[in-house]
Amino acid sequence: MKITKIFFHFINLIFVIFYLYPGSILGFLLYRDFNKQPQVTSDFTFSFLKFSSNHIYVFAILTFLGLISYLNKEKIIIIYFIFLSIFLELSHLIIPKRSFQFDDLFGNIIGVLISILIIKIYNFLEKK
């Protein structure tokens, strides 16, 4: 297995653990407070829609890693990340100290779409 695949699987596992943990592991590591969530940048607001910036960044990076790790299985990776982005946010409905938010769900999906767009543009330019 290539090093990029190993790295992708490791990061994916850590990400899922952080996402499903009842509280903020990063908040604890940075602030010694499981209830405080670090905020990289302000959330994005367009008209009446709001998107979680943290979720966009994380899903964009993770999806990008998945897509470059499995170049020949692009459709499977895309389906996986769309499913994962929805499943993980819906899981917050039942996880204590976590809450489902449409802002986060939209951020997850936008992050996935950004990575897909970057890969598609790169592939298009590579063919020219």
Assigned token pair, 4: 């990029």
Can you give the residue ranges of every domain in the chain?
Answer: 3-37+46-127
Question: What local confidence, expressed as pLDDT, does residue 128 receive?
Answer: 73
CA distance 48 to 31: 32
Residue range 86-116, pLDDT digits in tens: 999 999 999 988 889 999 999 999 999 999 9
The whole-chain average pLDDT of the chain stands at 90
Residue 49, classed as helix, strand or coil, is strand
Residue range 4-16, pLDDT digits in tens: 899 999 999 999 9
Q: How far apart are the first and last CA of the chain?
A: 30
Would you say the pTM of this structure is higher than 0.85?
Answer: yes
